[in-house]
A = this chain, B = another copy of it.
Amino acid sequence: MKKHVLIGIVGLFLSLPAILPAAATLDLMPLPERVTLAEGQFRLDAAFTTVVTGPAEPRLYSAATRMLRRLSGRTGLFMTQDVITASTRVEQPSLTITCQRPGKVALGEDESYSLTISPQKIELHCVTDLGGLRGLETLLQLLQADAQGFYFPALTIQDKPRFPWRGLMIDVCRHWLPLEVIKRNLDGMAAVKMNVLHLHLSEDQGFRIESKLYPELTRLGSDGFFFTQTQMKEIIDYADERGIRVIPEFDMPGHTTAWFVSHPELASAPGPYTIERRWGVFDPTMDPTKESTYKLLERFLGEMASLFPDPYLHIGGDENNGKQWNASPAIQAWMKRNGIKDNHSLQAYFNSRLLKILSRHGKKMVGWDEILHPQMPKTIVIQSWRGPQFLVKSARQGYQGILSNGYYIDLIQPASFHYLNDPVPADSALTPDEAARILGGEATSWAELVTPETVDSRIWPRTAVIAERLWSPASVRDVDDMYRRMEILSPRMEELGLTHIKNYEMMLRRLTNQQETSALRTFTDVVEPLKLYARHSQGVTYLQHSPYTRVVDAARPESMTARAFASHVAAFLATPSSPEGDTVMNQLAVWQENHARLLQIMERAPAIREIESLSQDLADLAAAGLQAAEAIQEGRKLGSDWAFSKQIVVDRAKKSRGQVELMVVAPIARLIQAAE
């Protein structure tokens, strides 16, 4: 492992004048712009002290105190220093944080820092305290241990972000996600240097923010699940403490059913409306032809503009299917009267009215792809969900943009896919000025299929690799090293309260009806939920109140077991005499025997019956793989009759059951092929 690590680092920093100690490891994510390794280590002990010098925001003192507590928590050291404040005075501090000026949590603020660790002391320099926060997270990630204790490796880091907008969008509408979910995810974001929390606050399925002017919006449109303004201020403060902006989204004119439960007059078709419980794109759409619509929006958005301090406000704008507009004679007549020739133009008119409202309240507009229209001014920011080509196109036209296409973490795609998805693709051929309009990107956590119990496991750790894409130099693209570092980071993020690991076993306990979980874990470790939108087309109708506690919900988006197995198989096939053969066969033997164990559990665990035949298929497949592996190791061939009969097993195992699919079919098929 260490050798592998070293190679990764040498590969990454070959151009730097680094003196690499023999067993250097750097487990950072996102990787910094420049790292220069040095000789020696700073050894950590209970006497570790920190001071902050220079004019910093209070948030830097809190962050330094939190860092101290996290170091103490990880190491068990009884640190003598308690709360770090502006009046903290220490002789010869271990860590000195020097700040040039207080920062402002705003787009484009300086987040750079430099970190120097020598065996004697640590120095963190930053222009603003935001850089200080970023540097402290780097320091925390640098903590290493050996038999003697904990230490930081001596080095120098110069670091700053590639993009100024590094966001995570959380949909709290389709499934309600309460305050503590948001808070722990803000901590997760801070740990990987993200700086924008985009909250999707209104949807067909729920209106999730209190309006004091229109309290009926949540009274009737939320089932009682919404953020009060006090809670939202708490979120904003919590985010600000971590150097993160909060941008609210009110999706309009579509995705608005929940508004219409209390305000049917806003809709383009008469009501009554009820909260939508299904998933999909629905017809209800605001009526852009009525002045009363803008009157309400003027007051509502004014209220929200003063609640949210960030200059940007997101108006959604996506997936307006136009059906209510088409069906309304009044709207059609109005369009004719006003010379508006199609729905896109009508929406552009609506957006231009929104733009005026936002401008009056000092806000700039963000919206999804669809808001792009020749009539819209260059001050808007386009969030692209349809593809990087749209973003590149809009940058050419002079629009600022952020990328979300390719960062849809709810679609259960592998980390590598998100990782290699660049907001400014190498082949984009943008001029520097055009490229500068691409501000960054946002991972999007849509909430049809997640609950407070599972959402962390859909966000983390994969969002960390998106954070790296947006922070680190474009040249950092080593997928294997990314996975290595992601797997180191992921369990460390548990100290922030994130439940992405610990809820897995908990869900398996419930699924087994509190029996021993290892057989179910062995199975679930090698399946993944169906990807993209496939879960919705398997004869199961998911509703808001459906159970999200099944095997498919417990299963992780990316099976690391399957990934490791595929790599063992590849190594084995390359060198049949290597010890990888034993690893492969031991693993196959476990899978082969697992089904019998799982069947026993099922006697008292009806909730897992739905994967019974898939578990059987895994056993059959493993048996075939085992025959193949033995033959390969012994240099025998099993012939085409055998291979043909096993192809049936392979084909059967490819079919999903319970909306999960086996992720080890391909490598086992490769073994079978090789043994033919």
Contact with B along A447-482 (1 / 0, CB 8 A): 000001000000000000000000000000000000
Q: How far is the CA of A277 from the CA of B75 in the complex (A)?
A: 20
A228: nearest chain-B partner, CB-CB: B230
Q: Which residue of B lies closest to A605 (CB)?
A: B145
- Given A74-B510, A491-B509: 6 more A-B contacts, CB < 8 Å: A73-B510, A73-B549, A76-B550, A78-B540, A82-B543, A488-B514
Q: Mark A45-80, 1 if CB is under 8 A from B, else 0.
A: 000000000000000000000000100111111110
CA distance A491 to B512 in the complex (A): 11
Which one of A264-272, A324-332, A500-508, A556-564 is at the B interface? A500-508
Contacts A74-B549, A510-B495 known; A83 to B223 CB distance under 8 Å? yes
- B contact residues around A73 at 8 Å (CB): 510, 547-549
A503 to B498, CA, bound (A): 11
- Say whether A215 faces chain B, with CB atoms less than 8 Å apart: no
**Chain B contacts for A494, CB-based, 8 A:** 506, 509-510
Q: Are A603 and B147 in contact (CB under 8 A)?
A: yes
A281 within 8 A of B: no
A546 touches B603 (CB 8 A): no
B150 adjacent to A606 (CB under 8 Å): yes
Contact of A502 among B79, B146, B506 (CB under 8 A): B506
- Measuring CB to CB, which residues of chain A are less than 8 angstroms from any residue of chain B? 69, 72-79, 82-83, 145-150, 178-180, 223, 228, 230, 277, 452, 488, 491-492, 494-495, 497, 499, 501-503, 505-506, 509-511, 513-514, 540-541, 543-550, 602-607, 610
A607 to B, closest residue via Cβ: B76
CB nearest to A610 among chain B residues: B76
Q: Could you tell me the distance in whole angstroms from the C-beta of A599 to the nearest C-beta in chain B?
A: 10
Alpha-carbon distance between A549 and B499 when the two chains are bound, in angstroms: 17
Cα distance A514–B491 in the bound complex, in angstroms: 7
A494 to B603, CA, bound (A): 22
Chain B contacts of A179 at CB under 8 A?
179-180
> How far does the Cβ of A514 sit from chain B's closest Cβ, in whole Å?
5
Max chain B C-beta neighbours (<10 A), residue from A74, A223, A277: A74
Query: Nearest residue in B to A68 (C-beta to C-beta)?
Result: B545
A-B contact list, 15 entries, CB within 8 Å = A69-B545, A72-B545, A73-B547, A74-B510, A76-B610, A77-B547, A78-B546, A83-B545, A145-B605, A149-B606, A150-B606, A488-B514, A494-B506, A501-B509, A502-B505
Query: How long is the Cα–Cα vector from A548 to B503 in the complex, in angstroms?
Result: 22
Interface pairs A-B: 5 shortest CB-CB? A180-B180, A502-B502, A76-B607, A73-B549, A72-B547
- Write out the residue numbers on chain B whose beta carbons fall within 8 Å of the beta carbon of A230: 228, 230
Which chain B residues border A606 with CB–CB below 8 Å? 75, 145-150
Contact: A145 with B604, CB < 8 Å? yes
Assembled-state Cα–Cα distance A149/B228 (Å): 41
Which residue in B77, B147, B495, B540 is a CB contact (below 8 Å) of A602? B147
Rounded to whole Å, the gap between the CB of A211 and the closest CB of chain B is 17
User: Which residues of chain B have C-beta atoms less than 8 A from A77's C-beta?
Assistant: 547
Does the CB pair A82–B147 fall under 8 Å?
no
Task: State whether A501 and B506 are in contact (beta carbons under 8 Å apart), knowing that A74-B549, A603-B147 are contacts in the complex.
Answer: yes
User: Among the listed B78, B506, B547, which residue makes an inter-chain contact with A547, where contact means beta carbons less than 8 Å apart?
Assistant: B78
Within the complex, the shortest CB–CB distance from A212 to chain B, in Å, comes to 14
Question: Do A549 and B505 touch (CB < 8 A)?
Answer: no
Complex-state Cα separation, A509 to B547, whole angstroms = 30
In the bound assembly, the distance between CA atoms of A540 and B510 in angstroms comes to 39
Residues of B within 8 A of A72 (CB): 545-547, 549
Q: Which residue of B lies closest to A490 (CB)?
A: B514
Chain B residues closer than 8 Å to A69, beta-carbon distance? 545
List of B residues within 8 angstroms of A548 by Cβ? 73
Chain B residues closer than 8 Å to A79, beta-carbon distance = 545, 547
Contact of A505 among B452, B492, B505, B540 (CB under 8 A): B505
Q: Which residues of chain B come closer than 8 Å to A607, judged between CB atoms?
A: 74-76
Chain B residues near A549: list those with CB within 8 A: 72-74, 76
Least distance between A527 CB and chain B CB atoms (Å) = 15
User: In chain B, what residue has the closest Cβ to A230?
Assistant: B230
Which of A73, A76, A541 has the largest count of B CB atoms less than 10 A from its CB?
A: A76
Closest to A602 in B: B147
Contact (A503, B502) CB under 8 Å given A540-B78, A606-B147: yes
Which one of A73, A146, A452, A503 has the greatest number of beta carbons of chain B within 10 Å? A73
CB closest residue in chain B, given A74 = B510
Provide the bound-state CA to CA distance between A146 and B603, in Å.
Answer: 6
Q: Which residue of B lies closest to A76 (CB)?
A: B607
Tell me, rounded to whole Å, the shortest Cβ–Cβ distance linking A655 to chain B: 20
Q: How far is the CA of A510 from the CA of B498 in the complex (A)?
A: 13
**Is the CB–CB distance between B82 and A277 below 8 Å?**
yes
Residues of B within 8 A of A499 (CB): 502
Query: Bound complex: CA of A146 vs CA of B502, how far in Å?
Result: 27
Residue of B nearest to A499 (CB): B502
* B contact residues around A550 at 8 Å (CB): 76
Q: What's the minimum C-beta distance from A99 to chain B, rounded to whole angstroms?
A: 21
Residues on B with beta carbons closer than 8 Å to the beta carbon of A495: 510
Alpha-carbon separation in the docked complex, A83 to B78 (Å): 50
Tell me, rounded to whole Å, the shortest Cβ–Cβ distance linking A378 to chain B.
Answer: 42
Q: How far is the CB of A464 from chain B (nearest CB, A)?
A: 15
- Contacts of A544 on B, CB cut-off 8 Å? 82
A202 to nearest B CB, angstroms? 20
Q: In the complex, what's the smallest C-beta–C-beta distance from A88 to chain B, in angstroms?
A: 14
Task: Give, as a whole number of angstroms, the nearest-CB distance from A329 to chain B.
Answer: 35
Q: Nearest Cβ in chain B — how far from A408, in angstroms? A: 25
Determine the chain B residues whose CB is within 8 A of the CB of A605 once the complex forms: 145
Q: Using Cβ atoms and an 8 Å threshold, which residues of chain B touch A505?
A: 502, 505
The residue in chain B whose Cβ has the minimal distance to the Cβ of A223 is B83
B-chain residues with CB within 8 Å of residue A509 when the two chains form the complex:
491, 494, 501
Give the complex CA separation of A464 and B147 in angstroms.
Answer: 41
Question: How many angstroms from the CA of A573 to the CA of B646 in the assembled complex?
Answer: 53
CA distance A497 to B494 in the complex (A): 16
- A50 → B minimal CB distance (Å): 13
The answer for the CA separation of A78 and B607 in the assembled complex, in Å, is 11
A76 in complex: contacting residue of B75, B147, B149, B547, CB < 8 Å = B547
